[in-house]
Every structure is written in C-alpha cells, then in structure tokens.
C-alpha cells in the first residue's frame, strides 16, 4: 500500500475542512480526487505532502509518517506557481536533481525540447500555460511512488490539457500511483481508474471507475453533477 | 542534504549581498579619498564636513539594517510563502532548513558588520593621519600606531590615558568588541527568524504578528542587557571604588557579551523548537 490515511481531521479556525478521512491507495492506480470548491481536496493533498499538519489522525506513505522519508517518495504539483521566477529552467532542473534521487534530468530536458521550451530562459519570461507545463514536467520527471497533482489542467487551453494528460500517462511508473484533484472531470475521466468524491470534508464515494459506470450507467462527469447538484 | 541547502542558500543570497557589501566598500573608498584631500581644512567647509559625516553614518546604518532585513525577508519568503511549497516538500528536516538559513545569514551578517567596522577604522585612520601630516606631527602619529598594538600600558606611553579611563588597552578593547560583534550578529539574525516563526503561530495576519514579535523581542533583549550591565555598576557602588568610570567600563563589555550570549542561546532553542513544529502553509 502506498498511501494510508486514518481518521484524518483538519480544522481551520475551529471549522472542519476535513473530517475523519480514512483512505487507502495501492500502487498502480490513477485516482481522481473530485469535489466542489471547498470540499477539502487541496487540504487533503497538502496534508499528504506535509505542508499542513493534521488536527488528528495519521498519514503514512509506504509505512513512513510524513517527513523527509515520505517526501522523497512523493512528487507534488501544487495548484499555483511556487518556483522562483527569477531562476532559469536549467537551474531549477539542477536543483531538483540535487535534492531528489529519483529525478531524471534527461527526461525533463527531453520533454522541454518537445515543447520548444528553452531551459536557458528564466521562468518568469514564460506565459502562464508554459509555466504550468514546466511545473508539470518537473513533477513528472521524478520516479516517485506517489504523484500528487493539484488541479494540473485548470489554467490551460484544451490542446495543452491533452499534452499534460499525455505527459502524466506516459511518464508514470506502473508501480506508482497518481492522485489528481480537478474540477474538469470530463477531460480526465478516461485516464482515471478510481475516484474519490469529497463532500464537505468527508469521503462521499471511493470506488473503481468502471464499476461505478456499470452500476449507475452514467459517466463520472454526470455522476458528479448529480451528486453535487446545487 | 545540509551541504546542498547551504550551497543553494549561498547562491540565492549572493547577488544582493555582494551589491550591498560592494556599496559599503565604495563608500569607504570614497570617504578615504575625500578625507585625504585638503577639502575640510578651511573654516567655511565645516558645514559640508558635518553633512558628509552625517550622510556617511546614515549610509552605514542603512546598509547594516538593509542586510539584516533582506535576510529576514529571504527567510520568510523562502519558507512561508509560495516558495515554501518547494522548500517544505524537499526530503530534508526542518532543522536542516533552519541551519542552512542561519549559517549563511550569519556569514553575511558577520561580513557586513566587519566591513562596517573596517570602514570606520579606515576613515578614522585616514583622517588622523592626514591631520598629523598636515600639522607636522608625523612623529606622534607613528608612535601612537606602535602603542596601539601594545598589550599592557606603561607609565610613559600614550595609551595610559585610555587605560586609566576605560580599564583596557585599545587592543584589549578591540578584542572585546570583536567578541561582542560575533555574538551580537548571531542574536540580531535570530531575533528576526524567531519573530517570523512566532508569527506563523498566529492564524491571521502572520506578517504583522511577526513585526510585533520582533519589536517585543528587541525590547526584551535590550531590557535584559541593560539589567545585566547594571551589575558592574552596583558592584562598584558596594565596593566604593575611587575610580568609578574605570571600574565600570572595565566590566561592562564582559557583561554585555554575557547578556548577548545568554539571549543567543535562548533564541536558538526557541528557533529549533518552533521549526520542529509541523508546518501549516496557507
């Protein structure tokens, strides 16, 4: 088992953002973390990445509690830019290569080359879409055990979305798992094999995509709209 | 991993710090050149001299403060804003993050403080030398330079007067000053870091809270230092020593160093404790 969350609760200013989340993820899966705004998707991902501390409950990644050992197994892509824009892409690649043993610079340069992104340019000189691609390339150039991708396709055009999804699919290891949070369900539905619906900080559904489709005779997108109808 | 963190921290701070330290060196060189001319040897040049000395003192102060605040800002931005998402997801311990910032920051603070000290000494030397030469006192100047390096005062040498007032030879005083600078730089840096870490404990307005904590910690440090420096004064009053100033100055530096050493230990323990707490990045 790659990820195990037990009775995870996180409160902000006294209000629960996540309540009693228990979740297990085995290797070799692409899991969609789906839910409306404020359902706790980003909070859950940040807790697993070690950027937030839980109010109660435990998280373990391949048996390791959140810490340096778990962080060496996780490749995390936040929902916003987090790299210093004044640095050149090649310098950032050097930085990742220095700190993550599983980072493969050749793979990163190869992906950059395919997208005609100059590694000698500073990050701040790129458009928003290109910055998103650079961030994704860095995250996917690792041979991590668990990829945490928070809204990886939210701010890019449909063509770029296709590229990003293709990058995710072609770069992840079969022994690894990917947890993707997104609103754009129809775009990623086809690559998911499990979904977790989060509703008001609790797990509403955790099921296999194919089984769910067969049971309900609906696409995941339609099911989502039905479950979270306003 | 600490070595790697140190490497990248050094690289990241190098550009700004080299610019600031170069400005300090240029300021010193310009000051030395101006003082070496006869520009201030006229009575009507006095206002200009006062203005330039004031500007020089303000520039030194500004550069010293700018160095410290840049390092505080770097600590905050790199660990607790967007960049924190990268730093806190690296496979390193929180203490390695703290130590990388502390070691690199300390080197820069110390370098900056040393440059300020050297700058003042250079300007004092050039001004004194120029005055001695233009007033035909070359012999006195040479003798004074030799005597400044003496370990103990003798009845006939010129530093005896300094010793009688302060209880140190100039060389001893300089040594004490270096110790105070070594410990004081560490405390100054930690004051900012601890304030930022304390600010993170507050749920809203973390940066504002950090500023508040900085002011509070600075005042606490000053009060503690002042109380400890009263000790030699009280001892002298009890002993009823004839030469009050001599005895007071002799012990004062030691107590100042001790107070900063104790504050440094407390601040360091606080920083380690606060860094070990689990992070909560908004």
- pLDDT one-digit tens code per residue, A43-64: 999 999 989 888 889 999 988 8
Give pLDDT tens digits for B133-189: 777 676 666 666 666 665 555 555 556 666 666 667 777 777 888 888 899 889 999
Kindly indicate the confidence band of residue B206, based on its pLDDT and cuts at 50, 70 and 90: confident
pLDDT at A208 exceeding the cut of 60: yes
Best of B9, B81, B85, B87 to disrupt the A interface (most A CBs within 10 Å) is: B85
In a domain, B255, yes or no: yes
CA distance B61 to B112: 11
pLDDT at A195 exceeding the cut of 80: yes
Domain extent at residue B209 = 150-282
Between B132 and A63, name the one with better pLDDT: A63
Query: Average pLDDT for residues B20-32, to the nearest whole number?
Result: 86
In a domain, B144, yes or no: no
Give pLDDT tens digits for A122-157: 988 988 888 888 888 898 889 888 999 988 777 667
Residues A199, A34 contacting (CB under 8 angstroms):
no
pLDDT for residue B75? 94
B2 by DSSP, 3-state: which?
helix
A81 touches chain B (CB under 8 A): yes
Same domain, yes or no, for B206 and B246? yes
| Strand arrangement, sheet containing A30-34 | A74-77, A146-150, A177-182, A30-34, A194-199, A202-208
Between A38 and B135, name the one with better pLDDT: A38
Same domain, yes or no, for B1 and B109? yes
Between B253 and B46, name the one with better pLDDT: B253
Give A84's contacts in chain B (Cβ within 8 Å): 12, 83
In a domain, B6, yes or no: yes
Residues A129, A163 contacting (CB under 8 angstroms):
no
pLDDT at A173 exceeding the cut of 90: no
**Contact between chains at A52 and B82 (C-beta distance less than 8 A):** no
**Contact between chains at B93 and A67 (C-beta distance less than 8 A):** yes
Chain B (79-138) residues lying within 8 Å, Cβ to Cβ, of chain A: 82-86, 88-93
pLDDT at B232 exceeding the cut of 60: yes
Same domain, yes or no, for B279 and B154? yes
In a domain, B141, yes or no: no
Best of B1, B90, B205, B276 to disrupt the A interface (most A CBs within 10 Å) is: B90
CA distance A167 to A50: 25
pLDDT for residue A100? 92
Range in A187-196, B226-235, B245-254 with the lowest mean pLDDT: B245-254
Q: Mean pLDDT across chain A, nearest whole number?
A: 86
Backbone angles phi, psi at A99, to 5 degrees: -95, -30
Same domain, yes or no, for B209 and B259? yes
Range in A97-106, A147-156, B18-27, B97-106 with the lowest mean pLDDT: A147-156
**Contact between chains at B89 and A95 (C-beta distance less than 8 A):** no
pLDDT at A20 exceeding the cut of 70: yes
Same domain, yes or no, for B163 and B266? yes
Same domain, yes or no, for B96 and B62? yes
Between A223 and B159, name the one with better pLDDT: A223
Kindly indicate the confidence band of residue A169, based on its pLDDT and cuts at 50, 70 and 90: confident
Same domain, yes or no, for B126 and B176? no
Percentage of residues of chain B with pLDDT beyond 90 = 30
pLDDT at B248 exceeding the cut of 80: no
In a domain, B87, yes or no: yes
**Contact between chains at A81 and B82 (C-beta distance less than 8 A):** yes
pLDDT at B252 exceeding the cut of 80: no
pLDDT for residue B157? 59
Same domain, yes or no, for B156 and B90? no
Domain boundary among the residues B103, B136, B169 is at B136
Same domain, yes or no, for B167 and B264? yes
Range in A123-127, A207-211, B45-49 with the lowest mean pLDDT: B45-49
In a domain, B95, yes or no: yes
Same domain, yes or no, for B54 and B156? no
B251 touches chain A (CB under 8 A): no
Beta strands in chain A (DSSP E): 3-12, 15-25, 30-34, 56-61, 64-65, 74-77, 146-150, 177-182, 194-199, 202-208
pLDDT at A168 exceeding the cut of 80: no
A50 touches chain B (CB under 8 A): yes
pLDDT for residue A188? 80
CA distance B101 to B95: 10
pLDDT for residue B108? 94
Same domain, yes or no, for B86 and B167? no
Domain boundary among the residues B136, B165, B183 is at B136
Between B90 and A162, name the one with better pLDDT: B90
A82 touches chain B (CB under 8 A): yes
Nearest to B90 among A69, A81, A99 (CB): A99
What's the structural domain count of chain B?
2
CA distance A93 to A101: 12
Which domains are present in chain A? 3-227 (3.40.50.300)
Query: Average pLDDT for residues B99-109, to the nearest whole number?
Result: 94
Nearest to A13 among B1, B82, B203 (CB): B203
Query: Average pLDDT for residues B26-45, to the nearest whole number?
Result: 76
In a domain, B145, yes or no: no
| Length of chain A counted residue by residue | 230
In a domain, B69, yes or no: yes
DSSP letter, residue A125: G
Domain boundary among the residues B136, B168, B193 is at B136
pLDDT for residue B154? 56
Give A135's contacts in chain B (Cβ within 8 Å): none
pLDDT for residue B69? 92
B37 by DSSP, 3-state: which?
coil
For tokens 């004194």, the residue is: B128
pLDDT at A96 exceeding the cut of 90: yes
Same domain, yes or no, for B168 and B275? yes
């Amino acid at each position: 088992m790659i990820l195990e969350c037990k009775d995870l609760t996180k409160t902000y200013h006294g209000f629960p953002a996540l309540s009693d989340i228990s979740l297990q993820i085995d290797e070799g899966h692409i899991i969609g973390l789906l839910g409306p705004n404020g359902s706790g998707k980003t909070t859950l991902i940040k807790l697993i990445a070690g950027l937030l501390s839980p109010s109660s409950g435990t998280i373990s990644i391949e048996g390791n509690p959140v810490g340096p050992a778990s962080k060496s197994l996780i490749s995390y892509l936040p929902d916003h830019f987090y790299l210093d824009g004044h640095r050149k892409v090649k310098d950032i690649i050097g930085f990742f290569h220095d700190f993550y043993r599983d980072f493969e610079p050749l793979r990163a340069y190869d992906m950059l080359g395919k997208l005609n992104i100059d590694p000698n340019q500073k990050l701040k000189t790129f458009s928003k879409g290109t910055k998103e691609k650079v961030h994704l390339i860095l995250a996917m150039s690792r041979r991590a055990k668990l990829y945490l991708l928070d809204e990886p396709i939210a701010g890019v055009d449909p063509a770029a979305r296709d590229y990003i999804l293709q990058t995710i699919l072609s770069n992840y290891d079969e022994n690894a798992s990917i947890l993707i949070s997104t609103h754009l369900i129809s775009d990623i539905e086809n690559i998911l094999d499990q979904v977790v619906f989060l509703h008001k900080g609790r797990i509403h559904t955790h099921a296999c995509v194919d089984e769910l489709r067969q049971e309900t005779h609906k696409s995941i997108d339609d099911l989502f709209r039905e479950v979270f109808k306003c | 991993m600490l070595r790697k963190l140190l490497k990248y921290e050094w690289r990241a701070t190098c550009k700004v710090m080299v610019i600031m330290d170069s400005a300090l060196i240029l300021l010193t060189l310009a000051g030395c050149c101006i003082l070496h001319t006869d520009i201030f040897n006229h009575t009507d040049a006095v206002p200009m001299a006062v203005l330039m000395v004031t500007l020089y003192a303000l520039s030194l102060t500004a550069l010293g403060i700018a160095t410290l605040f840049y390092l505080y800002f770097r600590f905050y931005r790199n660990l607790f804003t967007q960049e924190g998402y990268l730093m806190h997801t690296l496979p390193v311990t929180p203490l390695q993050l703290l130590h990388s910032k502390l070691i690199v920051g300390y080197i820069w603070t110390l370098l900056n403080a040393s440059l300020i000290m050297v700058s003042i000494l250079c300007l004092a030397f050039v001004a004194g030398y120029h005055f001695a030469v233009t007033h035909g006192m070359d012999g006195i100047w040479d003798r004074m330079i030799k005597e400044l390096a003496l370990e103990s005062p003798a009845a006939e040498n010129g530093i005896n007067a300094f010793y009688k007032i302060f209880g140190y030879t100039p060389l001893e005083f300089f040594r004490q000053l270096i110790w105070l600078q070594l410990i004081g730089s560490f405390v100054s840096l930690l004051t900012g870091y601890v304030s930022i870490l304390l600010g993170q404990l507050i749920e809203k307005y973390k940066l504002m809270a950090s500023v508040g904590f900085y002011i509070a910690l600075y005042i606490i440090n000053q009060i503690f230092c002042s109380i400890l420096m009263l000790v030699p004064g009280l001892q002298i009053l009890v002993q009823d020593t004839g030469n009050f100033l001599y005895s007071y100055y002799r012990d004062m530096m030691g107590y100042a160093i001790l107070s900063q050493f104790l504050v440094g230990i407390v601040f360091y323990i606080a920083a380690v404790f606060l860094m070990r707490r689990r992070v909560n990045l908004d």
